[in-house]
Structure 1
Amino acid sequence: MSRLRVGLLFNPTAALGTAHRVGRQVGNLLRLSGISVVDLSGSSAHVARARALEVRDTLTALVVVGGDGTVSLGAEVVAGTPVRLGVVPAGSGNDFARALGLPENSPAEATRVLLHALSRPVVTIDAIEITSASEHALPHRSLALGNVNLGFDALVNARANSASRGHAVRYSTAVLRELPSFRPLPYWIRIDDGERIDLDASLISLCNSGVFGGGMRMVPEARVDDGVLELVTLTGIGRTKLLRFFPRVFNGTHTSVDGFEVQPVRKVTVGLRDGRRLRAYADGEPRIELPITARVLPGAVRILADPGRSQP
């Protein structure tokens, strides 16, 4: 019997059921390669997480099949352990897989990459830990691998998630629908435990991969293995310029826009000065409401991929 035991976790509802079909295909390919496969998928993320945690210590790797939300779930299971994380993109956005240069729309090729990586030295990437910074909130911790969105991009993400079109189309449509009523938000922010800063901004994002929204490369130079995060802020622009900003993110010309800034950070706490409720989004999924603290966990996840494969 093979010494390799791999857990397989797929979201049965991702991409209108595509992940379920792809997950079964990946499982068959892994078994044909002589690997012992344990199906950990469940009717909900809560059930799948519980099943994965129960057998985690017996696994060589955990392979997740789905979109960015499923990848985050897998990261939460394996972070800080010797278990390696494999990703087969089968969601609607697949931005994290795109950032790593993983094959899309080819389960067989993605599985081949996983099998090759299993025989190679361990590769680690960073994760983002998200916790509540509110004195009155219950303790809550989650992980993300791609990005944490805290401004207009979070509002757009919420609207896009309720639509049924393709991910990139959903995101672009959500931008147009969210824009008419949007005003820059009054934030307070503390960087690396420094002094509190007040600023009005349209965007505040914390990037590890720098890719979201179906291929938008907000931070083209971002790396998932450099031990820091990129804090993105966009200030001093109105609705018209904000509308023009988003299409430029797809071709990378947005970095020259006045008011767009990127700085490396290790920890950030962000809240709103007016007390309004705003929910953070990370890797396409809703997380806790502001204020939040997000910090980098260097090398927290052993990934079955080569971050150097990513292409702009």
Structure 2
Amino acid sequence: MTPKQSLERHLLINPYAGNGKGKSFAGLLSSSPVVKGLPVVVPSTLEYSQKIANELNRDRVHLLVAGGDGTFNTILNQVYPPYRFTVSFLPCGSGNDLIRFLGISRNPIDALHASLNGSSEMLLDLWEAKIGWEDGSVTRQKFINTAGIGFDAYVGTLKQQKRFLTGLAVYTVSLLQALIKYDPINFELESNGNETISGEAMFITSGNGASSGGGFKLTPKAQINDGLVDVCIVSYLSRFKVLRIFPKAITGTHIGIKEVKYLQTDRYKIKLSKPSYIHLDGETTGKKVSEVELYLSPHKLKILL
């Protein structure tokens, strides 16, 4: 029996994703024959989204989620594991980095059609972060694609304030704005209990996937199911050098320069001498962290392509 024949399908659309892309996608579906007979839910609140997602966390359920990396991250953290449903991702976000990495069409209608006819299943690694916040509180959160501390998280904080740009454009504008007033982070990173790296950095990005920030390949060697997270540490750079290296980060060739350290691990712990910003799958809170421990989750997510 193929997945197409045996799965109970549901489409969950985040209407707020991508500065309105999710809402536009929901409108397009009203006249599309692709969704005939497909239950469609457009939750108006996070609480309702959480309720629906947990109710659908059952074997033989195919949950199609329309949104961006932040939407996928929200579902991941809303649902109580283990994850029993099979998921497909539909691009309605501003960056769509996970979509890009998985080779899914960036046209949501085409991606929906492909998902409904998909037959290839894959298990994705998930990562958990134990976060020590500046105020002394501690939380645990999961991510599926990327996490970042420092400059890229600050850029993400600025990016979320811009409602009329998407993709690489919004990241580029936010990056230029961040360059004006960003300070470096002083860190100590202990990898898997045996390797320690310390110093001054512009940012530290961890990638389960290769792409972040709307198309930057900051962790170009990453594989989403190899049990390892790729860590890119970029030393503090002058504004001029940031702009010179900027194109290399789009192609992933930045890892060849001397100011970049690159490692792969299944666990690390970072301590900061001065709190800084963090993002998980591009989602920021505006709060700063003092310490982060990141490790491979025992849970996996099954996706259908």
TM-score range, shorter chain: 0.7 to 0.9
The number of residue pairs the alignment matches comes to 296
Deviations 1:17-63 (A, max 9, x none): 2212324656865653x6x5252x32233431232113423761221
1:68 is matched with 69
- The answer on whether the counterparts of 1:79 and 1:300 sit within 8 Å (CA) in structure 2 is no
Counterpart residue identity of residue 177, structure 1: Q
TM norm structure 1: 0.84
Deviation at 1:178, TM superposition (A): 1.2
1:241 is matched with 241
Inter-partner Cα distance in structure 1 for 2:260 and 2:45: 38
Deviation at 1:206, TM superposition (A): 0.7
Inter-partner Cα distance in structure 2 for 1:195 and 1:218: 21
Counterpart residue identity of residue 240, structure 1: F
- 1:51-66 alignment, distance < 5 Å: 51-57=52-58, 60-66=61-67
- 1:267-286 alignment, distance < 5 Å: 267-274=267-274, 276=275, 278-286=276-284
- The answer to whether the aligner puts 1:265 opposite 2:265 as a matched pair is yes
Deviation at 1:298, TM superposition (A): 6.3
Counterpart residue identity of residue 50, structure 1: K
1:44 is matched with 45
1:80 is matched with 82
- The answer on whether the counterparts of 1:125 and 1:301 sit within 8 Å (CA) in structure 2 is yes
Counterpart residue identity of residue 56, structure 1: N
1:310 is matched with none
- The answer on whether the counterparts of 1:179 and 1:243 sit within 8 Å (CA) in structure 2 is no
- 1:156-305 alignment, distance < 5 Å: 156-164=155-163, 165-194=165-194, 197-235=197-235, 237-274=237-274, 276=275, 278-286=276-284, 289-290=288-289, 291-297=291-297, 300-305=300-305
Aligned to 1:102, the other structure's residue is in SS state coil
Aligned to 1:300, the other structure's residue is in SS state strand
Inter-partner Cα distance in structure 2 for 1:84 and 1:159: 33
Inter-partner Cα distance in structure 2 for 1:131 and 1:63: 28
Inter-partner Cα distance in structure 2 for 1:133 and 1:139: 5
Deviation at 1:270, TM superposition (A): 1.7
1:18 is matched with 21
Inter-partner Cα distance in structure 2 for 1:147 and 1:222: 10
Decide whether aligned partners of structure 1 residues 148 and 294 sit closer, same or farther in structure 2, where only a CA change above 3 A counts. Answer: same
Deviations 1:130-185 (A, max 9, x none): 22246974452222111001011111111111113233222111111111222321
Identify the range of structure 1 (223-232 vs 286-295) with the bigger mean alpha-carbon deviation.
Answer: 286-295
Inter-partner Cα distance in structure 2 for 1:112 and 1:282: 29
Q: Which runs of 5+ in 2 are unaligned?
A: none
Deviation at 1:230, TM superposition (A): 0.2
Inter-partner Cα distance in structure 2 for 1:162 and 1:156: 10
Deviations 1:236-289 (A, max 9, x none): 533321232222211333222212121111112223113x3x231011111574
Inter-partner Cα distance in structure 1 for 2:281 and 2:263: 20
Inter-partner Cα distance in structure 2 for 1:222 and 1:271: 24
Inter-partner Cα distance in structure 2 for 1:55 and 1:134: 32
Decide whether aligned partners of structure 1 residues 270 and 15 sit closer, same or farther in structure 2, where only a CA change above 3 A counts. Answer: same
Decide whether aligned partners of structure 1 residues 50 and 289 sit closer, same or farther in structure 2, where only a CA change above 3 A counts. Answer: farther
Aligned to 2:186, the other structure's residue is in SS state strand
Identify the range of structure 1 (255-264 vs 236-245) with the bigger mean alpha-carbon deviation.
Answer: 236-245
Q: Which runs of 5+ in 1 are unaligned?
A: 306-312
**% identity of equivalent residues:** 25
- The answer on whether the counterparts of 1:125 and 1:298 sit within 8 Å (CA) in structure 2 is no
